[in-house]
Amino acid sequence: MATKKQLSKLVRVPLREAWRHEANGFTPWLAESENLQLLAEAIGLSELEAVATEHLVGDFKLDILFTDGGDRAIIENQLDKTDHGHLGQPLAYASGVGAKRVVWIAESFRQEHVAALQFLNENTTEDLGFFGVEVQQWRIGDSPLAPRIGVVAKPDQWTKAGREQAR
């Protein structure tokens, strides 16, 4: 007689349950080298290095300023579903620090915001890139939380390069 295998259920844990506060919880976690590497692998960048967290840009605080192979880049975090306010914030931060990459992280993305990021990627120069990244936390039983990083928008460098050459 075959033995019955015991399987556990994979359970999604809301980001706000894992981290109560974005600036004091999620941002420091993401800025750790090993977690930036998880992000780098997901979005196809290689040399991410945190420069500062909660970095002042004018009167506002940029979540994470980092470098990508020498270029300045930024991360704007959101522990909930995307909203219009968070769409504008990374644009202001990017212009304030001269960033070449903008990474907007949220638990989930509204389709309008994915479309906005795709529009920016299609209508900006080849050296600029906008990424939309969903971060989820999962658990099996009493196991530690495990992140799942999914990319919902990213630049299409091949198309951008072709457009730049055609100009």
How far, in Å, CA of 7 to CA of 56, rounded? Answer: 48
How far, in Å, CA of 108 to CA of 134, rounded? Answer: 5
Question: Closest Cα to residue 49, out of 62, 35, 63?
Answer: 35
Return the CATH number of 10-166, one of 3.10.105.10, 3.50.50.60, 2.40.50.140, 3.40.1350.10: 3.40.1350.10
How far, in Å, CA of 56 to CA of 6, rounded? Answer: 51
What pLDDT is recorded for position 81? 96
Map out the domains of the chain as residue ranges: 10-166
Query: Crossing angle for the helix pair 157-166 and 111-122, nearest 10 degrees?
Result: 40
Q: Please give the model's pTM, rounded to 2 decimal places.
A: 0.88
114, 131 Cβ separation under 8 angstroms: no
The residue type of 138 is W
Q: What 3-state DSSP class applies to 144?
A: coil
pLDDT 10s digits, 71-128? 999 999 999 999 999 999 999 999 999 999 999 999 999 999 999 999 999 999 989 9
- pLDDT band for position 8 (cuts 50, 70, 90): confident
pLDDT 10s digits, 115-165? 999 999 999 998 999 999 999 999 999 999 999 999 999 998 655 555 556
